[in-house]
Structure 1
């Protein structure tokens, strides 16, 4: 997509600026001609309102999300290009902004709308685990973790800190690494748990390859953290590895 000259990062095309764009074809038709795009959008909204999420496929859901970014152009081609590039609705909203902008027609405002959806989904799923003990809402925990970092293109090491009733005290990303490695410092993990008065922790990291199978290094560092934390009264409930293809629990696999 061409960009107009200007200062700052928010250099939007005429389409993205909404009201500044005038469609020359539509202008020739005159004001009395019906706006078929407006009709299509309303029909899509009605179908979604009446049938819910199951009534619209992924590309139409993306179409609707992009309406605010593109108030006067057809969003279907952009939605289909996004799905063709990233493969699924979840991967579109989780994709890094720079990669999203590589797709023809996607600019700053479109990225903002997609990231707004991801943030809202994270807040929703995180709220579900904050209100209940983590171990009694395990599926919600897994949903949140996969959404939060399962589609990242770099490894992130996260810790969920829990109190004695297994309620969430804090959710912190302790490190960001490369495509296949994140440094983990055992002493810093235990120190932070003590600072927060946590009695239990859940370790989390992602595999950008998509395969959540734990590596030997994953197992070894988990055992080191368990050995360092136990004498200080901190329990390691699990180490979860997430990826776009699912998750793996070291506890369930009996690796710890």
Structure 2
């Protein structure tokens, strides 16, 4: 199959480049069953893209460039089929110590354990946290559970002199920042 035909077939299947880039290998294979080379190239491109976004936030203060953080979180999480919770553990200069997925859930629910997040922060000597999770529904509006866990994590972190700098909900239709909305 030629490049133009492959592009036409992919655009019919995936509608936009973002959906295509973050499609599962199985879905790519269904769209192009006879072109493993293009599928391998798309998967490699995705990994290169995510790696470059991660590098942009790994060597400077995370909050100094909110757009870089949002770009990274959107690329990493917006197209996931199930909810996941990611924590960016930060040092005193708000530089990234570790980026970890701390919980996986279902299409509309994930349990976050403030105790485990704080325990890991103490293990890493982190002084700041940026919590993020995705909403596969596409709507970034926080649920009642999101509000509760944010409050609980904020209060638990404060006891150990750790700052919860933000909780960002990532979705295909945008992001919700608790800090930007005045809820932190």
Task: Tell me if both proteins adopt one fold, taking TM over 0.5 as the criterion.
Answer: yes
Hey, what's the Cα distance between the residues in 1 that align with 2:143 and 2:88? 21
Deviation at 1:108, TM superposition (A): 4.2
SS in 2 for 1:115: helix
Q: Are 2:150 and 1:234 aligned? A: no
Q: Trace 1:1-80 onto structure 2 (pairs within 5 A).
A: 73-80=1-8
Look up the match of 1:14. none
Q: Kindly indicate whether the alpha-carbon contact (under 8 Å) linking 1:78 and 1:106 is maintained by their aligned counterparts in 2.
A: no
State the 1:106 CA deviation.
5.5
**Structure having the higher Rg:** 1
Q: Helix, strand or coil for the counterpart of 1:169?
A: strand
Unmatched segments (≥5 aa) in structure 1: 1-72
Match of 2:31 in 1: 103
CA distance in 2, matches of 1:107, 1:185: 43
Q: Could you tell me how far apart the structure 2 residues matched to 1:197 and 1:245 are?
A: 35
Alignment partners' CA distance in 1, 2:77 and 2:162: 25
Structure 2 equivalent of residue 246 of structure 1:
174
Alignment of 1:110-125 (within 5 A): 110-125=38-53
The one of 81, 102, 105 equivalent to 1:174 is: 102
Cα offset, 1:112, TM superposition: 2.1
Q: How does 1:180-199 map to 2 (within 5 A)?
A: 180-199=108-127
Calculate the TM-score normalised by the size of structure 2: 0.94
User: 2:140 touches 2:176 (CA, 8 Å); kept in 1?
Assistant: yes
Greater RCO, 1 or 2 (C-alpha within 8 Å, sep 6+) = 2
Q: Match of 1:160?
A: 88
Partner residue, 2:79: 151
Q: How many angstroms apart in 1 are the aligned matches of 2:18 and 2:134?
A: 16
Q: How many residues align?
A: 184
Alignment partners' CA distance in 1, 2:183 and 2:147? 7
Change (3 A) 1:96 1:189: same
1:92 to 15, 20, 30: 20
Q: Secondary structure at the match of 1:138?
A: helix
- Any gaps of 5 or more consecutive residues in structure 2? none
Report if aligned partners of 2:32, 2:39 keep a CA contact under 8 Å in 1: no
How big is the shift at 1:107? Answer: 5.1
User: Distance in 1 between the 2:56 and 2:34 partners?
Assistant: 32
- Assess if the C-alpha contact under 8 Å between 1:155 and 1:208 holds in 2: yes
